[in-house]
C-alpha cells in the first residue's frame, strides 16, 4: 500500500468507528424506520462474509434464500401453503399493485389517517373509481354502519393507522368479508406485523414493509395473497385491463414458482427478513405477542396517569399496541430531551407535528429499554 492509500484506509476506518458509535448509542422508538432487530448486525456480517450481496438472483443460492424466507415467514405468521408471497420495493408499491391487479373500476377504502388515505389516493391516481368512508384522525369505524356499494371489487383496510395510533379489530375486518363475499379484502399490516394475528381464511391479502415491526433496513415490501386474488388478476389481464408490467401478479407468480423474482430484487432485504423471521420463530411468536402487550400496557398506563402527556386515542378498544400517538404541548422539547439520552421518538404525523409525539412498540424494543424510556420521560417532562 502507498502512504496515500494507508491514510485513506485509516480515515475510512475512523469514519466507520465514529458512525458505529453514533448508531449504537441511540435507540429508535420511531414508527419506521425503527430500531433494528438485535440480530440484524450479526446477520449482515455473516452475509458480507458469505458474499450474499453479490450473488445472482438467478442462482440456486438465491432460490434457497427465497425458500428459506418464505418458509420462515409462513411459520411466523401462520400462512397456509395455498397462499403466495411476493416481494417488491415497499408497502406503498403493494397498494398500487393490488389496485392494478385486482380492481377494474371500484375499490372501497376505510380512511382514518395518512396511510389509509394514501391507499385511496393511489386508486384515484390510477383512474379507478374508489369509494371512501372517512372518519377523523384518532378514531376507528362503525363497521356495521358502513355501506359498501355492491359493485366493489376490493375492500381496503389499514389494520394499524401509523399516523394516529389507531388499530382496527380484525374481527370487524373478517365480518366485511362475510357481508361482501364477492369483494376481495386486503389489509395493510405494515406497522402491526408480526404482532397482529391473522386468520388467513378470512381475508384475501395482506401486505407489509420490513422497516417497522420486523426491525430491518427499509426497501422491501411483502404481500401475501390467496388464489382468489391471482384469479382476479388473471381475469383482468386476459380481458386487456392494464395490470402493470414486471410486478403484475401473473409475472410474479411465474417467477415465484421458480423461487425467483422478475427483476433483480433486494436480495439483502429478503435474506435478512428470513433470518430475522427464523430468530423470531425460535423465540416463538406467542412470546413476542405477549411481550408487545406487556410493553403496551406499561406505556399506556404511564401516559394515562401523566399530567402532560396523554394518549391521543381515547377509545381504549381502538388503541394500537404497536404505535402510540401521544398528545403533548411541547413535542419538540420532549423529543430533544429524550434524544439527549439517546432515545429517538417519532414526530406527530402531518398536522399533528406540533401537538404529538409517536412511540413505536416493536419486537426490537425490549421491556428493559421501554422502561428506560419511561423513566427518562418522567424526569424530563
Ligand atoms: C409506513 C407505512 C406504509 C408505507 O410503507 P412504505 O414501506 O414506506 O411504502 C403504509 N402503511 C402503513 C400503515 C405504514 O405504517
List pLDDT tens digits, range 174-195. Answer: 999 999 999 999 999 999 999 9
Ligand 1 pocket test, candidate residues 92, 137, 358, 361, most atoms within 8 A of CB: 92
For atom 2 of ligand 1, the residue with the nearest CA is 190
For residue 209 and ligand 1, the question of a CB distance below 6 A is answered with: yes
Determine the distance separating the centroid of ligand 1 and the alpha carbon of 7, expressed in angstroms: 42
Ligand 1 within 6 A of CB of 90: yes
For the stretch 253-302, pLDDT in tens is 999 999 999 999 999 999 999 999 999 999 999 999 999 999 999 999 99
> What separation in Å is there between the alpha carbon of 92 and the centre of ligand 1?
6
Average pLDDT, the chain: 95
Interval between CA 4 and ligand 1 midpoint (Å): 45
Q: Among 87, 114, 187, 191, say which to mutate for ligand 1: greatest number of ligand atoms within 8 Å of CB.
A: 191
CB 70 less than 6 A from any atom of ligand 1: no
Is 32 a pocket residue for ligand 1 (Cβ < 6 Å)? yes
The pLDDT of residue 25 is: 85
Q: Distance between CA 364 and CA 123 in Å, rounded?
A: 33
7 Cβ contact list (under 8 Å, min separation 6)? none
Choose one of 111, 161, 162 to mutate for the ligand 1 pocket test, by most ligand atoms within 8 angstroms of C-beta: 162
Ligand 1 neighbourhood includes 158 CB (under 6 angstroms):
yes
Contact 269, 220 (CB under 8 A): yes
Q: Is 321 in the pocket of ligand 1 (CB under 6 A)?
A: no
Placement of cell 406497522 in the chain: 191
Euclidean distance between CA atoms 132 and 122, whole angstroms:
12
Percent of the chain with pLDDT over 70: 94
Average pLDDT over residues 120-124: 98
pLDDT tops 70 at residue 17: no
d(CA 33, CA 280): 19
For residue 213 and ligand 1, the question of a CB distance below 6 A is answered with: no
The whole-model pTM stands at 0.94
Confidence of residue 21 (pLDDT cuts 50, 70, 90): very low
Find out whether the beta carbon of 190 lies less than 6 Å from any atom of ligand 1.
yes
- Averaged pLDDT, 15-40: 78
Tell me the per-residue pLDDT of 44-85, one tens digit each, with 9 for 90 and over: 999 999 999 999 999 999 999 999 999 999 999 999 999 999
How many whole angstroms from 209 Cα to the centroid of ligand 1? 7
Supply the pLDDT for residue 41.
Answer: 97
Confidence of residue 18 (pLDDT cuts 50, 70, 90): very low
Distance CA 251, CA 241 (A): 15
Amino acid at each position: 500500500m502507498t502512504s496515500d492509500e494507508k491514510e485513506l484506509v485509516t480515515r475510512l476506518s475512523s469514519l466507520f468507528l465514529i458512525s458505529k458509535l453514533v448508531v449504537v448509542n441511540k435507540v429508535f422508538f420511531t414508527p419506521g424506520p425503527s430500531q433494528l432487530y438485535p440480530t440484524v448486525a450479526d446477520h449482515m456480517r455473516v452475509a458480507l462474509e458469505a458474499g450474499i450481496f453479490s450473488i445472482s438472483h438467478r442462482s440456486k443460492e438465491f432460490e434457497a434464500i427465497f425458500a428459506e424466507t418464505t418458509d420462515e415467514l409462513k411459520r411466523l405468521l401462520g400462512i397456509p401453503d395455498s397462499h403466495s408471497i411476493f416481494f417488491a420495493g415497499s408497502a406503498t408499491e403493494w397498494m398500487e399493485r393490488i389496485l392494478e391487479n385486482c380492481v377494474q373500476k371500484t375499490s372501497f377504502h376505510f380512511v382514518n389517517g395518512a396511510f389509509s388515505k394514501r391507499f385511496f389516493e393511489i386508486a384515484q391516481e390510477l383512474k379507478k373509481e374508489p369509494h371512501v368512508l372517512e372518519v377523523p384522525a384518532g378514531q376507528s369505524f362503525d363497521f356495521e354502519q358502513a355501506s359498501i356499494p355492491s359493485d366493489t371489487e376490493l375492500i381496503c383496510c389499514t389494520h394499524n393507522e401509523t399516523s394516529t395510533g389507531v388499530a382496527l379489530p380484525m374481527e370487524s375486518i373478517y365480518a366485511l368479508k362475510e357481508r361482501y363475499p364477492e369483494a376481495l379484502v386486503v389489509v395493510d399490516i405494515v406497522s402491526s406485523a408480526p404482532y397482529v394475528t391473522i386468520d388467513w381464511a378470512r381475508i384475501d391479502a395482506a401486505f407489509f414493509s420490513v422497516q417497522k415491526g420486523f426491525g430491518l433496513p427499509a426497501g422491501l415490501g411483502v404481500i401475501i395473497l390467496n388464489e382468489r386474488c391471482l384469479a382476479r388478476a388473471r381475469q383482468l389481464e386476459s380481458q386487456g385491463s392494464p395490470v402493470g408490467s414486471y410486478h403484475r401478479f401473473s409475472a410474479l407468480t411465474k417467477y415465484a414458482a421458480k423461487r425467483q423474482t422478475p427483476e433483480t430484487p433486494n436480495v439483502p432485504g429478503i435474506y435478512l427478513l428470513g433470518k430475522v423471521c427464523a430468530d423470531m420463530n425460535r423465540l416463538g411468536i406467542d412470546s413476542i405477542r405477549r411481550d408487545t402487550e406487556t410493553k403496551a400496557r406499561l406505556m399506556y398506563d404511564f401516559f394515562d396517569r401523566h399530567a402532560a402527556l396523554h394518549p391521543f386515542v381515547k377509545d381504549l378498544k381502538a388503541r394500537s399496541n404497536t404505535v402510540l400517538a401521544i398528545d403533548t404541548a411541547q413535542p419538540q422539547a420532549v423529543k430533544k430531551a429524550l434524544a439527549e439520552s439517546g432515545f429517538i421518538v417519532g414526530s406527530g404525523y402531518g398536522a399533528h407535528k406540533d401537538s404529538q409525539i409517536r412511540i413505536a412498540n416493536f419486537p426490537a424494543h425490549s421491556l428493559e429499554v421501554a422502561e428506560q424510556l419511561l423513566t427518562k420521560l418522567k424526569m424530563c417532562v
